[in-house]
Amino acid sequence: MTQTPPSEFDARIGRLVDRIMQRGVVPFVGAGFSYGAAHPEGWVSTGGRMTEKLSVLLGQAPAVATGNDAIQSLPAGTDLASDTFDALTSATKSNPGLARLAELAALKISLKEVCEQLEIYKYAELQPLASHRYLAYLAREGLVREVITTNYDCCIERAFEQSLALPASTAGGAACVIQSLEQYRQSAAKHNKAGDLIIYKINGCAKVYAKAKSLCEDAPSGDAERAWHNAADRIVLTERQLQTFRRENWARDLFLDRARSRSLLFCGFGSEEPQIRHTAVALMNEFASDHAEGAPPASNQRIVGLANIPFIHVHDAHLSFYQLQILVAFWEAHKGAIQGGADGMRPMMETVFSGLDARAAGPAAKGLTQPIPPSQSATENKLSADLFMQAIFERAFERLVRDQIYQGPFCVWLRQLTGESKLWTYHLECWLGLKGQTAADRMSRLGYLLQPVPDKCSFPLRLWRMIWSVHAPAQAMPAGWYMPMRENALLLMTTLLLMSLSAQEDRFDLDGPDAAVRADQPLGLGVEFSLPARPLGKAQNPSRTFFVHLVSQAALAESPALLPRQQGSRLLRVIAVPTCERRRPLGRWIVRRQAEGPDQRGKLQCGVRVTVSAAELVSAAGRPERFADALQDSFAASRPRSAVRLNLKHSSQGVAE
């Protein structure tokens, strides 16, 4: 099969990102979105795990079900019931759909016992994948506010809460999970601010089920048992439940409303899901009846531009029958009958992303050579949810960066400091690669910053590892943390600008031994700058390099006694990011070194910490090419004296004078 050219893929995914930037997309995620999510016990979520468990249960079932009173009470039809049950059970061996297996299992045991056999409660502990984290990051930026899912797991809400780096109760930003009409009425309207996320679990929630199970087992009672049964009943498993939305009209109406007014992004959705397909197809018929009778068919371009056109992510190189059914119904509602086979279907593929796009979405298409984790690699003709969501996030974040360069708080900040603000933004654009003509050119530097770091925890991404060192250098970085552009654009963009001025292009590697940018705990983000050669009397002062640490103003206020990066350095140079204050007073640092031997004394090492605001440096430089001179001048008068006296009268630790 032919792989999609990168330019053609960029045009299609650019259309989707346009809708996301307009807050007009509601992701609808299915089982494929969580495929491969790991449980702390070591197993992973796969499509066959549940069907295997139910197949074992049914394969060991007696001829007549003993757990269902209705079957036990059949006096004359026992043989017919036995033959029917055995025949249907045997038929599922060749086509073991989960819904059909679950419905047969429910004839043998209760729904609660089916949930126990499937260990539904354990799905609450699955750990987020890259797909969940990218979706959470889009939500933190306020670009996605609602997600509809048929999954029971808690990966999306866990990824969202981990991105806050604070307990949900402290951060006040936990995702709102809704699985019932009561929750919908009480909570949906309260979570409508930018950065909030509502997750509609229309097939039930493993966490709610696990809580009911735990309460009943810890304190058995009639009420607790009923609550457990009710929680099991909300876990949609059987064919009959799927066909009726489990009688949850609010979920059906929610789906209809979002499909009418937004673009649904179907991701990880390829199975039968009759309640979704039947409802969607019926809605498309509504669209068709609304079309003026006798009106000419809509053009392909107009249909693709509709505000509620669905987008579909396909893991393989072709759509499933169920995915195609929804897509055809939408197009026929606006264009009339689709005929001509593949030629007639081809225009519909403008909003479909399949395994044929895997190479175009992968790192090679962005001009990157860095390896990425296997879970996000581009397998031949397979477009994983991880890789697809990564492609969306990167392009959306590129748009956010452009917004800040042209009109956001960062742009305003630069204009207040210098009359040459366009030179600074142009320099940053070129460094990030945003002036490139192709997507590969545009994503070369920015794409590198948005990649996971090889051989380490994949999240936070490389840029946010750097930002954490600026934001909270004295603290350990939590997995999954994300600072949205929406909340702190000035810190993000100023850090990028200062890194772009390093001019150490060949050693721009966060983890390399000679990296020009490095995370130095607890000092901040170390950036190596080159100082130009200057006349020194009749001699020439040679060019040299030194490290400057970028630390947010808030972190400096919290940790005034930072330690030196290495024992031989007594001058600690710090740039406050971001701040419009002038130079802060000189600071001192002192640290007691442990004795190297039993007969030796510990040493006190002392030095000077001088902090310069980023605003002062930009204002003093005026233009990007003068930044190194301004940097050198700012720190030149602050070198520590050669003789340092200690006043030991007031403290056993000693205070540097």
CB count within 10 Å of CB 101 equals 27
Helix, strand, or coil (residue 186): helix
Classify residue 431: in a domain, yes or no. Answer: no
Residue 425 lies in a domain: no
In this structure, of 167-176, 412-421, 510-519, the range with the lowest mean pLDDT score is: 167-176
Domain boundary among 75, 98, 123: 123
- Do both 473 and 598 map to the same domain? yes
Confidence of residue 76 (pLDDT cuts 50, 70, 90): very low
Q: Among 40-44, 192-196, 651-655, which stretch is predicted with the lowest mean pLDDT?
A: 651-655
Residues 103 and 137 in one domain: no
- When divided into structural domains, the chain yields a total of 3
- pLDDT tens-place string over residues 310-348: 999 999 988 988 888 889 989 988 888 888 888 889 999
- If one compares 559 and 220, the residue with the highest pLDDT of the two is 220
Last residue of a domain, one of 369, 388, 407: 388
- Would 144 be classed as within a structural domain? yes
Mean predicted confidence (pLDDT) in 67-83? 44
Summarised one tens digit per residue, pLDDT across range 443-482 is 678 888 898 876 556 678 989 999 999 998 888 888 889 9
Q: Are residues 118 and 133 in the same domain?
A: no
Q: Are residues 543 and 648 in the same domain?
A: yes
Please tell me the predicted confidence (pLDDT) of residue 71.
Answer: 36
With bands split at pLDDT 50, 70 and 90, how would you rate the model's confidence at 656?
very low
| Element holding 590 (H helix, E strand) | strand 587-593
Nearest-angstrom CA–CA distance, 501 and 520: 19
Instruction: Find the helix packing angle between 421-432 and 409-417, rounded to 10°.
Output: 130
- The DSSP code sequence of 98-109 is HHHHHHHHHHHS
DSSP 118-149: TTGGGGGGPPP-HHHHHHHHHHHTTS--EEEE
Residue 193: inside a domain, yes or no? yes
DSSP letter at 626?
G
For residues 498 and 602, membership in a common domain is answered with yes
d(CA 483, CA 462): 12
Q: Are residues 252 and 173 in the same domain?
A: yes
* 217-221-225 Cα angle (round to 5): 70
Segment among 51-55, 97-101, 250-254 with least mean pLDDT: 97-101
Q: Is 403 among the domain residues?
A: no
Q: How far apart are CA 83 and CA 63, in angstroms?
A: 8
Tell me: the pLDDT tens digits for 81-134? 555 546 555 555 555 578 878 888 888 888 899 899 999 999 999 999 999 999
pLDDT at 66: 36
The arithmetic mean of pLDDT across residues 164-184, rounded, is: 75
Cα 278 from Cα 325, distance rounded (Å)? 10
Same domain, 10 and 55: no
Cis peptide before 522 (omega within 30 of 0): yes
548 and 520 in one domain? yes
Asked whether residue 398 is domain-assigned, the answer is no
Tell me whether strands 198-201 and 146-149 are parallel, antiparallel or unpaired. parallel
**φ, ψ at 150 (rounded to 5°):** -95, 5
Angle CA(177)–CA(183)–CA(187) in degrees, nearest 5?
75
Co-location of 81 and 170 in the same domain: no
**Across 36-45, 174-183, 219-228, 538-547, least confident range:** 538-547
Q: Which CATH number is 25's domain given?
A: 3.40.50.1220
Structural domain boundaries enclosing 183: 6-42+126-202+248-388
- Residue 586 is predicted with a pLDDT of 47
**Cβ contact 591:582 at 8 Å:** no
In the chain, the amino acid numbered 27 is P
| Claim to verify: residue 634 and residue 491 sit in the same structural domain | yes
Whether residue 289 is found in the same domain as residue 364 = yes
- Which of the listed residues 91, 123, 155 is the one where a domain comes to its end? 123
Query: In the block, which residue shows the tokens 């599922």?
Result: 92
Taken as a whole, the chain contains a residue count of: 657
Judge whether 203 and 150 are in contact, CB under 8 Å: yes
Task: Supply the mean pLDDT for the chain.
Answer: 80
pLDDT at 188 over 50: yes
Is residue 208 a part of any domain in this protein? no
Check if the beta carbon of residue 571 is closer than 8 Å to that of residue 637.
no
Residue with tokens 């070194």: 593
Residue 54 inside a domain? The answer is yes
90 and 149 fall within a common domain = no
